Amino acid sequence: EGPAVSIQNFDMEAYNAALESGYSDFEASLTLGGDDRSLIKTDVRTNKYHIKPVPIESTSVFRGSCTGNPPTQRGYDAAMELFAKLEGLEGKDLCSAVQAVYDDHRSRLSALLNLPEGTEVVLCPSGSDAEYIPIAIARALKGDDVHITNGITQLSEIGAGSAPAAVGKYFSTHVPLVGRLSGEREVLSGFENLGGITVSARDNEGNVVDAA
């Protein structure tokens, strides 16, 4: 019996690793569409953040980060319900259904934050990925021929991928819609001619650094 939803070739590595680790078709699908942080390591049956695509035990201590949070039972059930609605959809029908989910998320976030009408809400999978947004905006405003310099502060206290992402580089061995990167790919298409600086806010012992 094949997967309940169509699996793209670039997602097969992640999908097969999850199945090999003993997870269900649905649980394997929860690991797709991301980078190396979502991949299940077959020797330990978790991703690199020690998270499994199953609900955390009710007696366990919930520990997460901005990048990785173990599923709660409520979140797991909600994802399964959505998975069932998307099952069998393809092409434009699938795109429309997923777009409706994102539109709903943006609308609810906007209402919760009481944002002014017309404010755009940009969804990002992690802080490192979010670094692409300002340089994408700058590139759109200034064109391809202008050199752009971007800066990162507090480098040791944010995501490890933030510095390369801030100058348009890949920060993972795997990326969405591509899968595993080939060795020669370093900069995202359209993000050439970028430079950057990093400013450390603290030294290795936690003392504040005067960056002036």
Q: What is the pLDDT of residues 97-109, one digit of tens each?
A: 999 999 999 999 9
Question: Once rounded to an integer, what is the mean pLDDT over residues 68-74?
Answer: 89
At residue 179, does pLDDT exceed 60?
Answer: yes
**Mean pLDDT confidence for 14-40:** 94
Predicted structure pTM score: 0.83
**Residue 99, pLDDT score:** 95
Nearest one of 187, 171, 133, 177 to 37, comparing CA atoms = 171
Q: How confident is the model at residue 184 (pLDDT cuts 50, 70, 90)?
A: confident
Please name which of 143, 181, 148, 144 lies closest in space to residue 35, comparing C-alpha atoms: 181
Q: What is the mean pLDDT of the chain?
A: 89
Is the pLDDT confidence value at 198 over 70?
Answer: yes
Is pLDDT at 185 greater than 70 in this prediction? yes
Percent of the chain, pLDDT > 90? Answer: 58
Can you give the pLDDT at residue 172? 93
CA separation for the pair 65, 50 (Å, rounded): 12
pLDDT surpasses 90 at 6: no
45: DSSP letter: T
Rounded Cα distance between 96 and 93, Å, is 5
pLDDT of 123 above 80: yes
